Structure 1
Amino acid sequence: MWTMDELVERVREALAAEYSGAPNGRVRDVPDRRAIRWYTTIGLVDRPLGMRGRTALYGPRHLQQLVAIKRRQAEGRSLAEIQADFARLTPEGLADASRIPAHLLATGDPPGAGPDRAERPRFWADRPATGTPAAAPDGTEATPAETEAIPAETGAARVPAAPVHGVTLGGGAILLLPRPVSGTDRAAIAEAAAPLLRLLESRGLIDGRTP
């Protein structure tokens, strides 16, 4: 298994040979740590396999998901379209979509090595997010997603998932809301968020780039 930095490097290697970059200039050619966390939040990428100390660990399926996302973005597909595709994608279909060389999928873990906790359920695959994405104030997408509380103890009852709607404010800041927003809502949010974004930028908490 790999750390997030190791995962990102493998994504870079897998894409280097043939990936031409997404047509939308707002989309990074290779996802960074923040983008991967966002993809996990909206269900495009599985949660980490587990933790080793305080370090999250990832495996071949995460690599396939990230590479498949970037290949689809290079074809001009939105995150909402990719999200819908992934809800129906089989393991074989994911392998075909990612087209990753076998040597990059090898984890190299010694026998018996593993994370501190078992892999969590793929909640998003059982209940894919629905809804039509709306444009956020800076022109990016407001993508519906689902969240759920994971029980602290094995065997505890799972809390039902509830949909949330992400509105990208700019600079990587994301506002999560329990209900969809209208065009009027988005304009009001953009106006109200401007002072906050200036404060975050002045403190170096956002960098002016959107994943």
Structure 2
Amino acid sequence: MWTLDELLDRVSAALAAEYSGAPNGRVRDVPDRRAVRWYATTGLVDRPSAMRGRTALYERRHLLQLVALKRLQSEGRTLAEIQAELAGADDATLAAVARVPADVLAAGDAPSPAEVRPRFWAEPAAPAAREKAAAPTGTAPVGTTLTGVALGGGAVVLVPGTPTPADVADIAAAAAPLLDLLAARGLLANEREQS
């Protein structure tokens, strides 16, 4: 896999061999970063294969698509004609049109897919992981009913189970220093209303 800049370097190297350039001079000989993103948006080129943080990663197929696109443009074809011809093309068809030298196709020092961070947020969590995430150390397990104890000023403490009136009184007394701090910082609802 390659970053966009690495991909563009490979496109340039692939086109250095037997490429006459665009016939009318209105089309760039080598696409820039913006053009590749636009090609991906319009479907001329596949979207990036993976992401490493905010960095898009591209593969062999992207290289074949870009070089094939530029070779067809050099023959005077419009983007609409190229899209109609290459839509759904397999790698063998793209390779025949692109004629990319083998050394340019080599992976080089690009990160392997194993080095790319997985998109952990896109996968559903395992049941045990969901319970652990939902119940950090010292909290109620998943499925336990939580009851809110109003402390005044809009502050509420959640406790597992149902507290007795004596529990509520003790919680309110213990929370007095916390309420004083919240009031001093203007973080209680009645403090904001008075300001």
What TM-score does the superposition give when structure 1 sets the normalisation length? 0.53
Task: Please say which structure displays the higher CA radius of gyration.
Answer: 2
Query: Which structure has greater helix proportion?
Result: 2
Note if contact 1:49-1:57 (Cα within 8 Å) is conserved in structure 2. Answer: yes
Give CA-to-partner distance per residue, 1:22-47, whole Å, 9 cap, x none.
11322000000011011001101111
Cα deviation 1:44-64 (Å, max 9, x = unaligned): 111111111211111111000
* Distance change >3 Å, CA 5–CA 110, structure 1 → 2: closer
1:29-68 superposed matches below 5 A: 29-68=29-68
Query: Where in structure 1 do 4 or more consecutive aligned residues deviate above 2 Å?
Result: 108-118, 152-155
Percent of residue pairs identical: 64
The residue aligned with 1:113 is: 114
Ranges in structure 2 where 5+ consecutive residues have no aligned partner: 125-195
1:53-78 Cα shifts (integer Å, max 9, x gaps): 21111111100000000000000000
Gaps of 5+ in 1: 119-151, 156-211
Aligned to 1:17: 17
CA RMSD of aligned residues (A): 2.0
Distance change (3 Å), C-alpha of 1:49 and 1:117: farther
- Give the 3-state SS of the residue equivalent to 2:56 in structure 1: strand
- TM-score, length-scaled by structure 2: 0.57
2:8–2:31 contact (8 Å) kept in structure 1: yes
Q: How many residues align?
A: 122
The aligned amino acid for 2:73 is: Q
Task: Evaluate the alpha carbon distance shift between residue 60 and residue 111 of structure 1 in structure 2; reply closer, same or farther with a 3 A threshold.
Answer: closer
Whether the 8 Å CA contact 1:49–1:115 is kept in 2: the answer is no
| 3-state secondary structure, aligned to 1:113 | helix
If asked which structure has higher relative contact order (CA below 8 Å, sep 6+), I would say: 1
Deviation at 1:153, TM superposition (A): 4.2
Query: Following the alignment from structure 2 to structure 1, what is the Cα–Cα distance between the partners of residues 78 and 63?
Result: 19
